A and B are shown apart, each in its own frame.
Chain A
Amino acid sequence: MTTIQRVWRLKNTLLNLLASRCSVCGHVTYPPKMRCPVCGSRELREESLPREGEVLSYTIIRVPAKGFEDFTPLIIALIKLGDAKVLAEVVDVKPEEVSVGMRVVATVRRTAQTIDGGVPYVIKFKPLRS
């Protein structure tokens, strides 16, 4: 659980898919980090990821964390966006309709309300053609 102010601080990362690219080894991390998780370099550049990608893997959550009941079953996927891998929710499909290799596109949706009653808006992914 979080507060709407914490979500607000991460707004650019969340809505603009801001990632960090390592200037030394080229590894791309989302969300952006201060240090490259592969080579340890601190020479990182921020860049926006492409909005279209491909499902690499996914899992279905049927017993959610408190507050997510409205959105259950949750489909959480590892999505390849350009050179990055992003963990995010896939929406507008039923669990039996998701597949590895499915093309998806980023969209703005709301998620479980914060402990202070705010409405957080985040990036989720939906099928490119549905």
Chain B
Amino acid sequence: MTSSRFRVGIVGWGAYIPVYRIKAKEIARQWGFDDRVTDSIWIEEKAVAGADEDTVTMGWYAARSALLRAGVNPGDIGAVFVGTESKPYAVKPSSTIIADALGISAKKLSTDLEFACRAGSEGIRISVSLVESGAVRYGLAIGSDTAQANPGDVLELTASSGAAAYLVGPADESVAVFESLVTYVTDTPDFWRRDGSRYPAHGEGFTGEPAYFHHIVSAVKMLMNESGLKPSDFDYAVFHQPNGKFPLQVGRMLGFPREKVLPGIVTPWIGNTYNASALLGLAKILENSKPGQRILVAPFGSGAGADAISVLVTDKVLERVGKAPTVEELIARKKYISYAEYAKFRNLIHRNLW
């Protein structure tokens, strides 16, 4: 796979987390789960999008923050990708709505990508290739989801809403440069949603070992082999976070000490934001990183696949952190809601529309 050493980087990044939170224990009580189930997967509360929020509105917010941090002319952005599994329209791109609202020129590539939770990172990989080839100056990759879960399914404890956006561009303008990027993808039936069905299904006990762990471990080992890097060369490791437990576990399997994984963990306080999950973790790390530090980020998507990306932080990161809300600020600004309010916001209540 390709490796793009020091020619392309992250010029700007942005995050969005809705203001509403529901306690995971309240969801557990609603369905009669054992209280301990939330502790066993380490989920405390999850972010809930308001009734007027969706993949487009959250993606717009995150992308706007990325542009504010980057300080680039929206007219110079030649590609916009939205990775999501919760599009407002089944047919009609979300990326064009966001791009127009941001004032990005019509002369661009633009599409929605779908690969469960890792379509957003595929958007980053495509953007890196486009910038590297000279086809575009900047590419905008957004991961945004209002994740659905069948009410009463254990997934409901974690499935949440959020967005992250990365503006990819020339290395000399970047807050972090891409050192190497690899992807490991197979056909694995761990989690899916058929057309027309409201909620996803998952292979019980199948989402862990053959899916999440196998793909992330394979992608990260591939990156290590190709780049010659070792866990000790990284200051931080960020993984996809379906819950709080899995990223710590996969970090351990790969030889990353707990203290390098913990700073990038966000799911216990906001839930699994699907396409934004690992990318919000990376944003949080960037916002606290020092120039010269090396970060591993490994998103995962069911179906299944994982990316392993190594980035090196530059001195430009420091001046750009304060130009938009940080992940920690967005996590801290919250309002608790009841299960009933959550059900109303997420359209779980059936009523006659007319």
Residues of A with Cβ closer than 8 Å to B?
A: 11, 15-16, 66-67, 69-71, 91-92, 107-111, 119, 121, 124, 129-130
Say yes or no: B97 contacts A121, CB within 8 Å: yes
Interface 1/0 per residue, B335-349 and A, CB below 8 Å: 100000000100100
Residues 298 to 354 of chain B near chain A (Cβ within 8 Å): 333, 335, 344, 347, 351, 353-354
CB-CB under 8 A from A70, the residues of chain B are: 51-52, 344, 347
Residue pairs across A and B with Cβ atoms less than 8 A apart, 20 shown, are A11-B100, A66-B354, A67-B353, A91-B52, A92-B19, A92-B335, A108-B56, A108-B57, A108-B60, A108-B61, A109-B50, A110-B52, A110-B54, A111-B52, A119-B54, A121-B57, A121-B97, A121-B101, A124-B52, A129-B333
Number of interface residues of B (CB under 8 A): 23
Name the A residues within 8 Å of B51 (CB-CB).
Answer: 70-71
Which has the most chain B C-beta neighbours within 10 Å: A71, A108, A110, A121? A108
Question: With A66-B354, A109-B57 in contact, is A16–B103 under 8 Å at CB?
Answer: yes
Q: Is B173 part of the contact surface with A, judged by Cβ < 8 Å?
A: no
Contact B57 A107 (CB under 8 A): yes
- Please measure, in the bound complex, the distance between the C-alpha atom of A107 and the C-alpha atom of B60, giving whole angstroms: 9
Chain A residues whose C-beta falls within 8 Å of the C-beta of B347 in the assembled complex: 70
- Residue among A16, A109, A111 facing the most chain B CB atoms (10 A cut-off): A109
- A110 in contact with B19 (CB, 8 Å): no
**A110/B61 in contact, CB under 8 A:** no
Task: Give A11's nearest chain B residue, CB to CB.
Answer: B100
Measured CA separation A111–B52 after assembly (Å) = 6
Where the two chains meet, the residues of B that have a C-beta atom closer than 8 Å to any C-beta of A are 19, 50-54, 56-57, 60-61, 88-89, 97, 100-101, 103, 333, 335, 344, 347, 351, 353-354
Q: Is the CB of A110 within 8 A of B57?
A: yes
Bound Cα distance A107, B16 (Å) = 12
Q: Which of A16, A91, A107 contacts B61 (CB 8 A)?
A: A107
Q: How far is the CA of A70 from the CA of B56 in the complex (A)?
A: 18
Task: List chain A residues, Cβ under 8 A from B57.
Answer: 107-110, 121
Q: Contacts A70-B51, A92-B50; is A110 near B100 (CB within 8 Å)?
A: no
Residue of B52, B54, B353 near A71 (CB, 8 A) is B52
- B333 touching A130, Cβ below 8 Å: yes
- List the B residue with the shortest CB-CB distance to A51: B64
Quote the shortest CB–CB distance from A63 to chain B (angstroms): 16
A15 touches B53 (CB 8 A): no
CB neighbours (8 Å) of A119 from chain B are 54, 56, 88-89
Chain B hits for A91, CB < 8 A: 50, 52
Whose C-beta in chain A lies nearest to the C-beta of B333?
A: A130
A122 to chain B, nearest CB (A): 9
A69→B351 CA distance, assembly (Å): 10
